[in-house]
Amino acid sequence: MALSSSHRVTMNDGNTIPVLGFGTYAPRSVPKSEHEVATKLSIEVGFRHIDGAFLYQNEKEVGQAIRAKIADGTVTREDIFYTGKLWNTCHRPELVRPALEETLKNLQLDYLDLYIIHFPISLKPGKDLMPMDENQKVIGDSVDLCDTWEAMEKCKDAGLVKSIGVSNFNRRQLEMILNKTGLKHKPVCNQVECHPYLNQSKLLEFCKSKDIILVAYSALGSQREAPWTEQFPTVLEDPVLGAIAKKHNRSPAQVALRYQIQRGVVVLAKSFTEKRIKENFQVFDFQLTPEDMKAIDGLNKNPRYVNLRNSQEHPNYPFNDEY
């Protein structure tokens, strides 16, 4: 993965994506005002890739931050790479473009740089993000994701989004899209949970073979709330990672982020702490050795911090296969 001077790589549609992104998910305990402040700060320290989603319920605040930094001359719209996500209740083809248009309205932007299917799990359409029946079971919806993908392609052709991709897809689900009759645009990326304890090596190898970029979320572990998060040992407290960080006079977080960049993964980092936001961007002025990379590879245990099984059972649940 060859880096340009602006730390971008080229996707399979010819557009470029910054290899380091700022994630905008936050627990409900974080005030919405802090979402805007953190996003502004991320742009000020150098982040140009902003990763958002309708599910996060903060698109208005994130959009205000982006527009404020454009207005004060810090960046232009073209400098910013914004990712939005199609939520599970909007997989029916006729709902895809309206969902994208709602995101654009929330952000007050004319286009998205990247729009991805958030999960290969279709839920009952409606205002409830997680529709439940009387037994508190999630209500699914029967949608062919190939039809959803065709609607995504139309959004790209209409100029509402520059690139389209997927998230939380396993190999089987990626192949379903790639082998679809009449495919017009390949997914440019697959965004998945990926960190030293879950390095997704097989999925990464498959994505590279298909010229699909792997984007890592929860790259530093996860601070998500129940029911989304499993409790596992903290990645950043791992002694191997700590020793490598000490050797390079870096933090474990910087080492974890640099690890992904060197293996050809676009990586997201999220924080609401000024010191950590600044620290997370300082990963382009050092290099991990082959020995460092091998040692971090050896930490793989395959646990998932983000686990939807806690909240639902669904036939299209994306993590049934190994990758």
Question: What is the set of active-site residues?
Answer: 56
- Give CA–CA dist 279/273, Å, rounded: 10
Alpha carbon distance 131, 133 (integer Å): 7
Tokens describing residue 265: 């993964």
CA dist 99 and 115 (Å) reads: 11
CA torsion 174-221-1-301 (nearest 10°) is -70
Distance of CA 35 to the CA centre of its chain: 17
β-pairing, 213-217 vs 20-23, is unpaired
Closest to 58 (Cα-Cα) out of 272, 275, 311: 272
At position 45, the amino acid (one-letter code) is V
Other C-beta atoms within 10 Å of 314: how many? 20
Locate the DSSP E strands across the chain. Answer: 8-10, 16-18, 20-23, 49-51, 81-86, 112-117, 161-167, 189-193, 213-217, 266-269
Give the phi and the psi of residue 31 in degrees, each rounded to 5: -60, 145
Spatial distance between the Cα atoms of 84 and 52, rounded to a whole number of angstroms: 5
**Residue-wise over 56-75: b if at least 16 C-beta within 10 A, else e?**
bebbebbbbbbeebbeeeeb
Task: Count Cβ atoms below 10 Å from residue 106 Cβ, excluding itself.
Answer: 19
CB atoms within 10 A of CB 27: 11
